[in-house]
Structure 1
Amino acid sequence: MSATGVFDQLVGQDRVVGTLHRAASVAGAMTHAWLFTGPPGSGRSVAARTFAAALQCEREDDPGCGRCQPCRMVLAGSHPDVRIVDTEQTFIKVEEARALVVEAQARPSIGRWRVIVVEDADRLNDHSANTLLKSLEEPTARTVWMLCAPTLEDVLVTIRSRCRHVRLGTPPAAAVAELLVRRDGVDPSMAHYAARAAQSHIGIARRLATDEHARARRREIVSIPLSLHSLGDALRAAQDLVQEAGDGARATSEDYAQEQRHELLAQIGADPSARSQPPSVRAHLKRLDERLRAEARRQQHDSIDAALTDLASAYRDALMVSTGAPVERINTSDPEQVERLARAFSPEGLLGALETIGLARQRLIANGAPLLVLEAMMIGLTLPGSD
Structure 2
Amino acid sequence: MSVFDTLVGQEHMIAKLQGAVLSAKNGEETQEMTHAWVFTGPPGSGRSSAAVAFAQALICPDLGCGTCNACLSAANGGHPDVEIIRTEGLSIKIDEVRELLTRVAWAPSMGGWRVVVMEDADRLTESAANALLKAIEEPGNRTVWLLCAPTLHDVLPTIRSRCRHMQLVTPSTKDVAAVLQSRDGISPQMADFAARVSQGHIGRAKYIATNEHVRSNRKEILKSVTQLNNVSDAFKAAQRLVDIATEDAKAAAEIRDEKEQDELAQAYGKGATGRGMASGGSKALKELEKEQKTRTTRMVRDSLDAALLDIATLYRDIMMVQSGHIDALINLEMAQEINAIASVVPTHKTIQRLDAVMKARKALGFNAAPLLTIEALMCELV
Q: Give the TM-score range, shorter chain.
A: over 0.9
In the TM superposition, what is the alpha-carbon distance from 1:147 to its structure 2 partner?
0.5
Structure 2: distance between partners of 1:221 and 1:102? 47
In the TM superposition, what is the alpha-carbon distance from 1:296 to its structure 2 partner?
0.4
Tell me how large the CA RMSD over aligned residues is.
Answer: 1.8
Match of 1:385 in 2: none
CA contact (8 A) 1:224 1:311 kept: no
> Would the alpha carbon gap of residues 137 and 320 (structure 1) be closer, same or farther in structure 2, given more than 3 Å must change?
same
CA contact (8 A) 1:36 1:44 kept: yes
CA contact (8 A) 1:12 1:175 kept: yes
Alignment of 1:1-387 (within 5 A): 3=1, 5-26=2-23, 27=28, 28=30, 29-59=32-62, 63-271=63-271, 280-325=280-325, 328-382=328-382
Structure 2: distance between partners of 1:108 and 1:256? 33
What's the TM-score, normalizing by structure 1?
0.93
SS of equivalent to 2:333: coil
Structure 2: distance between partners of 1:314 and 1:272? 56
Structure 2: distance between partners of 1:275 and 1:234? 55
CA contact (8 A) 1:225 1:341 kept: no
Paired amino acid for 2:107: R
CA contact (8 A) 1:16 1:166 kept: yes
Structure 1: distance between partners of 2:344 and 2:143? 57
Deviations 1:151-210 (A, max 9, x none): 011111011111111000111110111111110111112111110111010011111211
In the TM superposition, what is the alpha-carbon distance from 1:240 to its structure 2 partner?
0.6
Paired amino acid for 1:55: L
Per mean C-alpha deviation after superposition, the further-off stretch among 5-14 and 281-290 is 281-290
CA contact (8 A) 2:66 2:72 kept: yes
CA contact (8 A) 2:268 2:277 kept: no
CA contact (8 A) 2:269 2:278 kept: no
Structure 1: distance between partners of 2:278 and 2:106? 36
Unaligned runs of 5+ in 2: none
CA contact (8 A) 1:84 1:118 kept: yes
What's the TM-score, normalizing by structure 2?
0.94
CA contact (8 A) 1:122 1:154 kept: yes
Unaligned runs of 5+ in 1: 383-387
> Would the alpha carbon gap of residues 69 and 380 (structure 1) be closer, same or farther in structure 2, given more than 3 Å must change?
same
Structure 1: distance between partners of 2:274 and 2:370? 37
Paired amino acid for 1:352: Q
Structure 1: distance between partners of 2:68 and 2:236? 54
In the TM superposition, what is the alpha-carbon distance from 1:281 to its structure 2 partner?
3.0
CA contact (8 A) 2:228 2:381 kept: yes
Paired amino acid for 2:217: R
In the TM superposition, what is the alpha-carbon distance from 1:121 to its structure 2 partner?
0.4
Structure 1 residue ranges, 4+ long, deviating more than 4 angstroms after superposition: 270-279
Q: Percent identity?
A: 45
SS of equivalent to 2:251: helix
Deviations 1:81-121 (A, max 9, x none): 11111111111011001011112211111112111111000
CA contact (8 A) 2:269 2:276 kept: no
Structure 2: distance between partners of 1:11 and 1:66? 16
> Would the alpha carbon gap of residues 163 and 270 (structure 1) be closer, same or farther in structure 2, given more than 3 Å must change?
same
Paired amino acid for 1:364: L
> Would the alpha carbon gap of residues 83 and 168 (structure 1) be closer, same or farther in structure 2, given more than 3 Å must change?
same
Deviations 1:273-305 (A, max 9, x none): 999978843322221111111000000000000
Paired amino acid for 1:13: Q
Structure 2: distance between partners of 1:162 and 1:259? 41
Paired amino acid for 2:173: A
CA contact (8 A) 1:262 1:272 kept: no
> Would the alpha carbon gap of residues 326 and 333 (structure 1) be closer, same or farther in structure 2, given more than 3 Å must change?
closer
CA contact (8 A) 1:265 1:272 kept: no
Structure 2: distance between partners of 1:128 and 1:261? 27
CA contact (8 A) 1:315 1:341 kept: no
In the TM superposition, what is the alpha-carbon distance from 1:77 to its structure 2 partner?
2.7
Structure 2: distance between partners of 1:193 and 1:58? 40
CA contact (8 A) 2:269 2:277 kept: no
Structure 2: distance between partners of 1:55 and 1:73? 13
Deviations 1:309-357 (A, max 9, x none): 0011000000011122477211112211111121232111111011101
Paired amino acid for 2:11: D
Paired amino acid for 2:369: A
Per mean C-alpha deviation after superposition, the further-off stretch among 214-223 and 365-374 is 214-223
Structure 2: distance between partners of 1:348 and 1:320? 13
